[in-house]
Structure 1
Amino acid sequence: MNNIANNIQKIHTRINNACLNSGRNPDDVKLVAVSKIKPAEMVTDAFESGQKIFGESYVQEFRDKQPLVTAPVEWHFIGSLQSNKVKYLRGKVTTIHSVDRLSLAEEIDRQWGKTETTVDVFLQVNIGDESSKAGCSPEALENLVRSVAPLQNLRIKGLMCLPPHCDNPEQVRPFFKQLKQLAEQINRLQIPDVNMDELSMGMSGDFEVAVEEGATFVRVGTAIFGAREKKA
Protein backbone atom coordinates (compact mmCIF):
# COMPACT_ATOMS: atom_id res chain seq x y z
CA MET A 1 0.00 0.00 0.00
CA ASN A 2 1.41 3.40 -0.98
CA ASN A 3 1.55 6.37 1.39
CA ILE A 4 -1.53 8.09 -0.05
CA ALA A 5 -3.62 4.92 0.20
CA ASN A 6 -2.41 4.38 3.76
CA ASN A 7 -3.23 7.98 4.69
CA ILE A 8 -6.73 7.74 3.20
CA GLN A 9 -7.36 4.55 5.14
CA LYS A 10 -6.23 6.26 8.36
CA ILE A 11 -8.53 9.23 7.72
CA HIS A 12 -11.53 6.94 7.21
CA THR A 13 -10.70 5.10 10.43
CA ARG A 14 -10.61 8.41 12.31
CA ILE A 15 -13.90 9.51 10.70
CA ASN A 16 -15.49 6.21 11.69
CA ASN A 17 -14.28 6.58 15.28
CA ALA A 18 -15.59 10.15 15.46
CA CYS A 19 -18.95 8.91 14.21
CA LEU A 20 -19.01 6.18 16.82
CA ASN A 21 -18.23 8.75 19.51
CA SER A 22 -21.16 10.92 18.43
CA GLY A 23 -23.69 8.26 17.46
CA ARG A 24 -23.54 8.99 13.75
CA ASN A 25 -23.49 6.76 10.68
CA PRO A 26 -20.06 6.93 8.98
CA ASP A 27 -21.81 6.64 5.61
CA ASP A 28 -23.20 10.14 6.21
CA VAL A 29 -19.71 11.71 6.11
CA LYS A 30 -17.93 12.25 2.78
CA LEU A 31 -14.21 12.89 2.45
CA VAL A 32 -13.07 15.65 0.10
CA ALA A 33 -9.38 15.19 -0.70
CA VAL A 34 -7.97 18.71 -1.03
CA SER A 35 -5.56 18.40 -3.94
CA LYS A 36 -4.61 22.05 -4.40
CA ILE A 37 -0.92 22.60 -5.16
CA LYS A 38 -0.55 18.86 -5.72
CA PRO A 39 0.11 17.28 -9.14
CA ALA A 40 -2.40 15.35 -11.20
CA GLU A 41 -0.43 12.17 -10.57
CA MET A 42 -1.27 12.36 -6.88
CA VAL A 43 -4.95 12.78 -7.68
CA THR A 44 -4.80 9.66 -9.83
CA ASP A 45 -2.98 7.75 -7.08
CA ALA A 46 -5.64 8.77 -4.56
CA PHE A 47 -8.45 7.80 -6.95
CA GLU A 48 -6.88 4.38 -7.46
CA SER A 49 -6.80 4.10 -3.66
CA GLY A 50 -10.57 4.54 -3.51
CA GLN A 51 -10.91 8.32 -3.14
CA LYS A 52 -13.65 9.80 -5.36
CA ILE A 53 -14.08 13.49 -4.42
CA PHE A 54 -11.32 16.08 -4.85
CA GLY A 55 -11.33 19.73 -3.85
CA GLU A 56 -9.48 22.54 -5.62
CA SER A 57 -9.05 26.14 -4.49
CA TYR A 58 -7.43 27.99 -7.39
CA VAL A 59 -9.21 28.34 -10.71
CA GLN A 60 -6.11 28.58 -12.91
CA GLU A 61 -4.51 25.56 -11.25
CA PHE A 62 -7.74 23.60 -11.66
CA ARG A 63 -7.92 24.53 -15.36
CA ASP A 64 -4.42 23.19 -15.88
CA LYS A 65 -4.79 20.06 -13.77
CA GLN A 66 -8.29 18.85 -14.61
CA PRO A 67 -7.53 17.74 -18.20
CA LEU A 68 -4.55 15.73 -16.95
CA VAL A 69 -6.71 13.59 -14.67
CA THR A 70 -8.40 11.01 -16.87
CA ALA A 71 -9.97 9.08 -13.98
CA PRO A 72 -13.70 9.82 -13.42
CA VAL A 73 -13.16 11.87 -10.27
CA GLU A 74 -15.78 14.19 -8.79
CA TRP A 75 -14.40 17.73 -8.64
CA HIS A 76 -15.48 20.23 -5.99
CA PHE A 77 -14.36 23.86 -5.88
CA ILE A 78 -13.69 24.91 -2.28
CA GLY A 79 -11.72 28.15 -2.53
CA SER A 80 -12.61 31.81 -2.72
CA LEU A 81 -14.18 32.45 -6.12
CA GLN A 82 -14.35 35.59 -8.25
CA SER A 83 -17.42 35.96 -10.43
CA ASN A 84 -15.34 36.43 -13.59
CA LYS A 85 -13.70 33.02 -13.05
CA VAL A 86 -16.93 31.02 -12.72
CA LYS A 87 -17.04 30.31 -16.46
CA TYR A 88 -13.91 28.18 -16.18
CA LEU A 89 -15.64 25.84 -13.72
CA ARG A 90 -18.86 25.47 -15.70
CA GLY A 91 -19.72 21.85 -16.27
CA LYS A 92 -16.48 20.63 -14.71
CA VAL A 93 -17.27 20.72 -11.00
CA THR A 94 -20.29 19.17 -9.33
CA THR A 95 -20.19 21.34 -6.20
CA ILE A 96 -19.01 24.80 -5.16
CA HIS A 97 -18.44 25.17 -1.41
CA SER A 98 -17.73 28.89 -1.26
CA VAL A 99 -20.77 30.92 -2.33
CA ASP A 100 -20.81 33.96 -0.07
CA ARG A 101 -22.75 36.63 -2.00
CA LEU A 102 -25.71 36.96 -4.31
CA SER A 103 -23.71 38.33 -7.25
CA LEU A 104 -21.55 35.19 -7.27
CA ALA A 105 -24.60 32.93 -7.06
CA GLU A 106 -26.20 34.79 -9.96
CA GLU A 107 -23.11 34.29 -12.13
CA ILE A 108 -23.01 30.58 -11.25
CA ASP A 109 -26.69 30.37 -12.21
CA ARG A 110 -26.01 32.18 -15.48
CA GLN A 111 -23.06 29.97 -16.44
CA TRP A 112 -24.74 26.67 -15.61
CA GLY A 113 -27.85 27.90 -17.40
CA LYS A 114 -25.83 27.77 -20.62
CA THR A 115 -25.53 24.01 -20.20
CA GLU A 116 -29.09 23.59 -18.87
CA THR A 117 -27.71 21.75 -15.86
CA THR A 118 -27.49 22.46 -12.14
CA VAL A 119 -24.63 22.62 -9.66
CA ASP A 120 -24.73 22.05 -5.92
CA VAL A 121 -23.57 24.93 -3.73
CA PHE A 122 -22.76 25.55 -0.10
CA LEU A 123 -23.21 29.01 1.35
CA GLN A 124 -20.06 30.09 3.13
CA VAL A 125 -20.47 31.71 6.54
CA ASN A 126 -17.71 33.80 8.15
CA ILE A 127 -18.35 32.11 11.45
CA GLY A 128 -15.42 33.75 13.25
CA ASP A 129 -16.05 37.26 11.90
CA GLU A 130 -12.52 37.40 10.50
CA SER A 131 -11.72 40.20 8.08
CA SER A 132 -9.17 37.99 6.32
CA LYS A 133 -11.76 35.38 5.35
CA ALA A 134 -14.67 35.33 2.94
CA GLY A 135 -18.20 34.41 3.90
CA CYS A 136 -21.42 36.15 4.75
CA SER A 137 -22.09 37.08 8.35
CA PRO A 138 -24.41 34.87 10.40
CA GLU A 139 -26.80 37.82 10.60
CA ALA A 140 -26.94 38.15 6.80
CA LEU A 141 -27.37 34.43 6.14
CA GLU A 142 -31.17 34.30 6.01
CA ASN A 143 -31.33 37.11 3.45
CA LEU A 144 -28.67 35.43 1.34
CA VAL A 145 -30.54 32.12 1.42
CA ARG A 146 -33.81 33.75 0.42
CA SER A 147 -32.08 35.60 -2.45
CA VAL A 148 -30.20 32.58 -3.81
CA ALA A 149 -32.95 29.97 -3.42
CA PRO A 150 -35.03 31.02 -6.48
CA LEU A 151 -32.09 30.64 -8.89
CA GLN A 152 -32.86 27.74 -11.19
CA ASN A 153 -29.44 26.33 -12.06
CA LEU A 154 -28.01 25.79 -8.60
CA ARG A 155 -29.13 23.92 -5.52
CA ILE A 156 -28.36 25.04 -1.98
CA LYS A 157 -27.10 21.95 -0.18
CA GLY A 158 -26.04 23.48 3.11
CA LEU A 159 -23.43 25.64 4.81
CA MET A 160 -19.65 25.84 4.81
CA CYS A 161 -17.22 27.53 7.17
CA LEU A 162 -13.52 28.16 7.72
CA PRO A 163 -13.28 28.75 11.48
CA PRO A 164 -10.40 30.64 13.12
CA HIS A 165 -7.20 28.63 13.31
CA CYS A 166 -6.61 27.09 16.72
CA ASP A 167 -3.86 24.69 17.76
CA ASN A 168 -6.31 22.77 19.94
CA PRO A 169 -9.24 21.34 17.92
CA GLU A 170 -11.48 21.66 20.97
CA GLN A 171 -11.20 25.43 20.66
CA VAL A 172 -12.82 25.20 17.23
CA ARG A 173 -15.77 23.09 18.40
CA PRO A 174 -18.00 26.09 19.27
CA PHE A 175 -17.71 27.39 15.70
CA PHE A 176 -18.77 24.05 14.22
CA LYS A 177 -21.61 23.88 16.72
CA GLN A 178 -22.71 27.38 15.71
CA LEU A 179 -22.75 26.47 12.00
CA LYS A 180 -24.93 23.45 12.78
CA GLN A 181 -27.31 25.67 14.75
CA LEU A 182 -27.49 28.17 11.86
CA ALA A 183 -28.37 25.34 9.48
CA GLU A 184 -31.13 24.17 11.81
CA GLN A 185 -32.50 27.72 12.09
CA ILE A 186 -32.67 28.04 8.29
CA ASN A 187 -34.31 24.63 7.97
CA ARG A 188 -37.03 25.67 10.40
CA LEU A 189 -37.93 28.55 8.08
CA GLN A 190 -38.99 26.00 5.43
CA ILE A 191 -37.81 28.15 2.54
CA PRO A 192 -38.79 26.51 -0.77
CA ASP A 193 -35.97 24.59 -2.49
CA VAL A 194 -33.64 24.98 0.49
CA ASN A 195 -32.26 22.04 2.43
CA MET A 196 -29.58 22.60 5.05
CA ASP A 197 -28.81 18.97 5.85
CA GLU A 198 -25.24 19.14 4.53
CA LEU A 199 -22.37 20.83 6.37
CA SER A 200 -18.93 21.33 4.83
CA MET A 201 -16.59 21.85 7.76
CA GLY A 202 -13.41 20.42 9.21
CA MET A 203 -9.89 20.09 7.81
CA SER A 204 -6.78 18.04 8.57
CA GLY A 205 -6.30 19.45 12.05
CA ASP A 206 -9.87 19.40 13.31
CA PHE A 207 -12.07 17.16 11.14
CA GLU A 208 -12.84 14.72 13.95
CA VAL A 209 -14.37 17.49 16.06
CA ALA A 210 -16.26 18.70 12.98
CA VAL A 211 -17.68 15.21 12.44
CA GLU A 212 -18.79 15.04 16.06
CA GLU A 213 -20.63 18.34 15.55
CA GLY A 214 -22.41 17.27 12.36
CA ALA A 215 -20.08 17.68 9.37
CA THR A 216 -21.19 15.74 6.30
CA PHE A 217 -18.24 16.83 4.13
CA VAL A 218 -14.72 17.16 5.58
CA ARG A 219 -11.99 18.79 3.50
CA VAL A 220 -8.67 17.08 4.16
CA GLY A 221 -5.46 17.79 2.26
CA THR A 222 -2.26 17.70 4.30
CA ALA A 223 -3.18 14.51 6.16
CA ILE A 224 -3.61 12.77 2.78
CA PHE A 225 -1.03 14.32 0.46
CA GLY A 226 1.50 15.76 2.91
CA ALA A 227 2.49 19.36 3.56
CA ARG A 228 2.17 21.83 0.69
CA GLU A 229 4.57 24.41 -0.54
CA LYS A 230 2.95 27.83 -0.54
CA LYS A 231 1.52 28.94 -3.87
CA ALA A 232 3.60 31.69 -5.41
Structure 2
Amino acid sequence: MSIQSNIIMIEENMEKALKKSGREGEKVELIAVTKTIDIDRINETIRVGISNIGENKVQELEKKYDLIGDTVNYHMIGHLQTNKVKNIIGKTRLIHSLDRLSLAKELDKRSKNNAIVTDVLIQVNVAEEESKFGLKVEEVLYFIEEILDFKNIKIRGLMTIAPNTTDEILLRKIFRTLYNLKENIKNKNYENLSMDYLSMGMTNDYELAIEEGSNMIRVGSAIFGKRNY
Protein backbone atom coordinates (compact mmCIF):
# COMPACT_ATOMS: atom_id res chain seq x y z
CA MET A 1 0.00 0.00 0.00
CA SER A 2 1.10 3.58 -0.60
CA ILE A 3 2.02 6.06 2.10
CA GLN A 4 -1.11 8.04 1.26
CA SER A 5 -3.44 5.05 1.60
CA ASN A 6 -1.73 4.06 4.88
CA ILE A 7 -2.34 7.55 6.26
CA ILE A 8 -6.00 7.46 5.14
CA MET A 9 -6.44 4.12 6.93
CA ILE A 10 -4.83 5.46 10.12
CA GLU A 11 -7.06 8.55 10.03
CA GLU A 12 -10.15 6.35 9.63
CA ASN A 13 -9.03 4.24 12.61
CA MET A 14 -8.47 7.44 14.61
CA GLU A 15 -12.03 8.59 13.84
CA LYS A 16 -13.44 5.20 14.87
CA ALA A 17 -11.52 5.29 18.16
CA LEU A 18 -12.74 8.83 18.89
CA LYS A 19 -16.31 7.79 18.16
CA LYS A 20 -16.00 4.68 20.35
CA SER A 21 -14.80 6.79 23.27
CA GLY A 22 -17.47 9.48 22.87
CA ARG A 23 -14.97 12.08 21.62
CA GLU A 24 -16.27 12.35 18.08
CA GLY A 25 -15.08 15.51 16.35
CA GLU A 26 -12.10 16.05 18.68
CA LYS A 27 -8.66 16.51 17.15
CA VAL A 28 -5.89 13.94 17.46
CA GLU A 29 -2.54 14.93 15.99
CA LEU A 30 -0.67 12.33 13.96
CA ILE A 31 3.12 12.48 14.21
CA ALA A 32 4.88 10.50 11.48
CA VAL A 33 7.92 8.84 13.07
CA THR A 34 10.66 9.21 10.45
CA LYS A 35 13.46 7.23 12.08
CA THR A 36 15.59 5.68 9.26
CA ILE A 37 13.20 7.07 6.59
CA ASP A 38 14.76 8.79 3.58
CA ILE A 39 14.01 12.39 2.63
CA ASP A 40 11.99 11.56 -0.50
CA ARG A 41 9.53 9.46 1.46
CA ILE A 42 9.27 12.09 4.19
CA ASN A 43 8.54 14.72 1.56
CA GLU A 44 5.85 12.43 0.16
CA THR A 45 4.13 12.32 3.57
CA ILE A 46 4.27 16.12 3.74
CA ARG A 47 2.72 16.38 0.26
CA VAL A 48 -0.21 14.19 1.32
CA GLY A 49 -0.91 16.26 4.41
CA ILE A 50 1.38 15.24 7.28
CA SER A 51 2.46 18.36 9.20
CA ASN A 52 4.31 16.74 12.13
CA ILE A 53 7.34 14.45 12.04
CA GLY A 54 9.05 12.84 15.01
CA GLU A 55 12.69 11.91 15.43
CA ASN A 56 14.40 9.78 18.08
CA LYS A 57 17.91 11.12 17.57
CA VAL A 58 19.20 14.67 17.57
CA GLN A 59 21.55 14.16 14.60
CA GLU A 60 18.68 12.79 12.50
CA LEU A 61 16.44 15.72 13.42
CA GLU A 62 19.24 18.17 12.55
CA LYS A 63 19.88 16.48 9.20
CA LYS A 64 16.22 16.47 8.24
CA TYR A 65 15.74 20.05 9.39
CA ASP A 66 18.63 21.13 7.15
CA LEU A 67 17.27 19.24 4.12
CA ILE A 68 13.53 19.81 4.51
CA GLY A 69 13.45 23.18 6.25
CA ASP A 70 10.54 24.56 8.24
CA THR A 71 7.73 23.27 6.00
CA VAL A 72 6.89 20.74 8.73
CA ASN A 73 6.83 20.66 12.56
CA TYR A 74 9.65 18.70 14.20
CA HIS A 75 9.10 16.68 17.37
CA MET A 76 11.96 15.30 19.45
CA ILE A 77 10.45 12.05 20.73
CA GLY A 78 13.58 10.15 21.82
CA HIS A 79 15.84 10.45 24.84
CA LEU A 80 17.57 13.84 24.78
CA GLN A 81 21.12 14.12 26.08
CA THR A 82 21.83 17.39 27.86
CA ASN A 83 24.92 18.10 25.71
CA LYS A 84 22.83 17.83 22.51
CA VAL A 85 20.23 20.46 23.50
CA LYS A 86 22.19 23.25 21.79
CA ASN A 87 21.88 21.43 18.45
CA ILE A 88 18.09 21.47 18.29
CA ILE A 89 17.04 24.51 20.30
CA GLY A 90 14.60 26.59 18.26
CA LYS A 91 14.02 23.80 15.74
CA THR A 92 11.31 21.81 17.52
CA ARG A 93 7.62 22.37 17.89
CA LEU A 94 7.64 20.05 20.90
CA ILE A 95 10.17 18.04 22.90
CA HIS A 96 8.37 14.95 24.24
CA SER A 97 11.11 13.58 26.47
CA LEU A 98 11.76 15.93 29.39
CA ASP A 99 12.58 13.53 32.22
CA ARG A 100 15.11 15.12 34.58
CA LEU A 101 16.11 18.38 36.22
CA SER A 102 19.49 18.72 34.46
CA LEU A 103 17.74 18.59 31.08
CA ALA A 104 15.14 21.16 32.17
CA LYS A 105 17.93 23.52 33.27
CA GLU A 106 19.80 23.16 29.99
CA LEU A 107 16.64 23.64 27.89
CA ASP A 108 15.76 26.73 29.92
CA LYS A 109 19.27 28.19 29.64
CA ARG A 110 19.61 27.58 25.89
CA SER A 111 16.09 28.87 25.24
CA LYS A 112 16.82 32.03 27.22
CA ASN A 113 20.03 32.58 25.23
CA ASN A 114 17.97 32.35 22.04
CA ALA A 115 15.13 34.54 23.39
CA ILE A 116 12.55 31.77 22.88
CA VAL A 117 10.25 29.58 24.95
CA THR A 118 10.58 25.86 24.25
CA ASP A 119 7.45 23.72 24.56
CA VAL A 120 7.99 20.38 26.28
CA LEU A 121 6.16 17.28 27.45
CA ILE A 122 7.14 15.40 30.57
CA GLN A 123 7.98 11.78 29.81
CA VAL A 124 6.40 9.38 32.28
CA ASN A 125 7.46 5.75 32.54
CA VAL A 126 4.03 4.57 33.66
CA ALA A 127 4.90 0.87 33.38
CA GLU A 128 8.25 1.44 35.16
CA GLU A 129 10.14 -0.54 32.54
CA GLU A 130 13.87 -0.58 33.23
CA SER A 131 14.65 -0.27 29.52
CA LYS A 132 12.75 3.01 29.17
CA PHE A 133 13.38 6.57 30.32
CA GLY A 134 10.88 8.75 32.14
CA LEU A 135 9.68 9.70 35.59
CA LYS A 136 7.56 7.43 37.75
CA VAL A 137 3.95 8.54 38.07
CA GLU A 138 4.42 9.55 41.71
CA GLU A 139 7.47 11.72 40.86
CA VAL A 140 5.75 13.94 38.30
CA LEU A 141 4.10 16.51 40.59
CA TYR A 142 7.33 17.03 42.55
CA PHE A 143 9.23 17.47 39.29
CA ILE A 144 6.72 20.02 37.97
CA GLU A 145 7.03 22.07 41.15
CA GLU A 146 10.84 22.03 40.81
CA ILE A 147 10.75 23.55 37.33
CA LEU A 148 7.65 25.78 37.36
CA ASP A 149 9.74 28.94 37.78
CA PHE A 150 11.75 28.27 34.61
CA LYS A 151 10.60 31.03 32.28
CA ASN A 152 11.92 29.72 28.97
CA ILE A 153 10.40 26.27 28.90
CA LYS A 154 6.69 25.60 28.99
CA ILE A 155 5.16 22.28 29.99
CA ARG A 156 2.38 21.46 27.53
CA GLY A 157 1.44 17.94 28.62
CA LEU A 158 2.65 14.39 29.18
CA MET A 159 4.11 11.54 27.12
CA THR A 160 4.53 7.83 27.69
CA ILE A 161 5.78 4.81 25.76
CA ALA A 162 3.69 1.75 26.56
CA PRO A 163 5.20 -1.75 26.75
CA ASN A 164 5.38 -3.73 23.53
CA THR A 165 2.56 -6.14 24.36
CA THR A 166 -0.77 -7.38 23.04
CA ASP A 167 -2.25 -7.30 26.56
CA GLU A 168 -5.12 -4.86 25.98
CA ILE A 169 -6.07 -4.70 29.67
CA LEU A 170 -2.52 -3.70 30.64
CA LEU A 171 -2.28 -1.13 27.84
CA ARG A 172 -5.60 0.45 28.76
CA LYS A 173 -4.53 0.63 32.41
CA ILE A 174 -1.29 2.43 31.45
CA PHE A 175 -3.02 4.91 29.14
CA ARG A 176 -5.79 5.57 31.67
CA THR A 177 -3.20 6.17 34.40
CA LEU A 178 -1.50 8.86 32.31
CA TYR A 179 -4.85 10.42 31.40
CA ASN A 180 -5.82 10.58 35.10
CA LEU A 181 -2.44 12.11 35.98
CA LYS A 182 -2.97 14.75 33.28
CA GLU A 183 -6.41 15.60 34.69
CA ASN A 184 -5.00 15.79 38.23
CA ILE A 185 -2.28 18.23 37.11
CA LYS A 186 -4.80 20.27 35.12
CA ASN A 187 -7.03 20.66 38.17
CA LYS A 188 -4.17 22.16 40.19
CA ASN A 189 -4.20 25.27 37.95
CA TYR A 190 -0.45 25.76 37.96
CA GLU A 191 0.78 28.95 36.30
CA ASN A 192 2.97 28.72 33.19
CA LEU A 193 1.76 25.18 32.53
CA SER A 194 -0.95 23.65 30.38
CA MET A 195 -2.04 20.08 29.82
CA ASP A 196 -2.85 20.47 26.12
CA TYR A 197 -1.21 17.28 24.91
CA LEU A 198 -1.32 13.66 25.91
CA SER A 199 1.24 11.98 23.64
CA MET A 200 0.57 8.26 23.85
CA GLY A 201 -0.01 5.54 21.30
CA MET A 202 2.19 4.08 18.57
CA THR A 203 1.64 1.79 15.57
CA ASN A 204 0.52 -1.22 17.63
CA ASP A 205 -1.65 0.54 20.20
CA TYR A 206 -2.72 4.00 18.98
CA GLU A 207 -6.41 3.11 18.75
CA LEU A 208 -6.50 1.97 22.39
CA ALA A 209 -4.55 5.09 23.38
CA ILE A 210 -7.10 7.35 21.67
CA GLU A 211 -9.96 5.48 23.33
CA GLU A 212 -8.27 6.24 26.67
CA GLY A 213 -7.76 9.95 26.00
CA SER A 214 -4.70 10.44 23.79
CA ASN A 215 -4.72 13.44 21.47
CA MET A 216 -1.27 12.94 19.95
CA ILE A 217 0.00 9.66 18.47
CA ARG A 218 3.45 8.73 17.16
CA VAL A 219 3.23 6.33 14.23
CA GLY A 220 6.05 5.00 12.04
CA SER A 221 5.72 1.53 10.51
CA ALA A 222 1.94 1.81 9.94
CA ILE A 223 2.77 4.73 7.61
CA PHE A 224 6.06 3.67 6.04
CA GLY A 225 6.01 -0.13 6.38
CA LYS A 226 8.53 -2.19 8.31
CA ARG A 227 11.87 -0.48 8.76
CA ASN A 228 15.07 -1.67 7.18
CA TYR A 229 17.76 -1.32 9.83
Q: 1:26: Cα distance to partner?
A: 4.2
Q: Give yes or no for contact 2:201–2:209 (8 Å, CA) kept in 1.
A: yes
For residues 169 and 51 of structure 1, what CA distance do their matches in structure 2 show? Answer: 28
Root-mean-square deviation (CA, aligned residues, Å) is: 1.4
Q: 1:155: Cα distance to partner?
A: 1.1
| 1:154 and 2:153 are equivalent in the alignment | yes
Counterpart in 2 of 1:97? 96
Q: 1:229: Cα distance to partner?
A: 2.7
Listed one character per residue, the Cα deviations across residues 78-106 of structure 1 (whole Å, up to 9, x for unaligned) are: 00110000111111111100001111011
Equivalences for 1:178-189 in 2 at 5 Å?
178-189=177-188
Calculate the TM-score normalised by the size of structure 2: 0.95
Counterpart in 2 of 1:130? 129
Counterpart in 1 of 2:37? 38
Q: Give yes or no for contact 1:44–1:71 (8 Å, CA) kept in 2.
A: no
Equivalences for 1:42-191 in 2 at 5 Å?
42-70=41-69, 72-191=71-190
Amino acid at match of 2:20: N
Query: 3-state SS of the aligned residue for 1:33?
Result: strand
Q: Identify unmatched segments of 5+ residues in structure 1.
A: none
Calculate the TM-score normalised by the size of structure 1: 0.94
Q: Give yes or no for contact 1:29–1:217 (8 Å, CA) kept in 2.
A: yes
| Distance of aligned partners of 1:187 and 1:71 in 2 relative to their CA distance in 1, 3 Å threshold | closer
Q: 1:71: Cα distance to partner?
A: 6.1
Counterpart in 1 of 2:215? 216
Amino acid at match of 2:176: K
Q: Identify unmatched segments of 5+ residues in structure 2.
A: none
Structure 1 window deviating more from structure 2 (161-170 vs 103-112): it is 161-170
For residues 209 and 169 of structure 2, what CA distance do their matches in structure 1 show? Answer: 10
| Distance of aligned partners of 1:71 and 1:144 in 2 relative to their CA distance in 1, 3 Å threshold | closer
For residues 28 and 37 of structure 1, what CA distance do their matches in structure 2 show? Answer: 28
For residues 27 and 68 of structure 1, what CA distance do their matches in structure 2 show? Answer: 33
Q: Percent identity?
A: 38
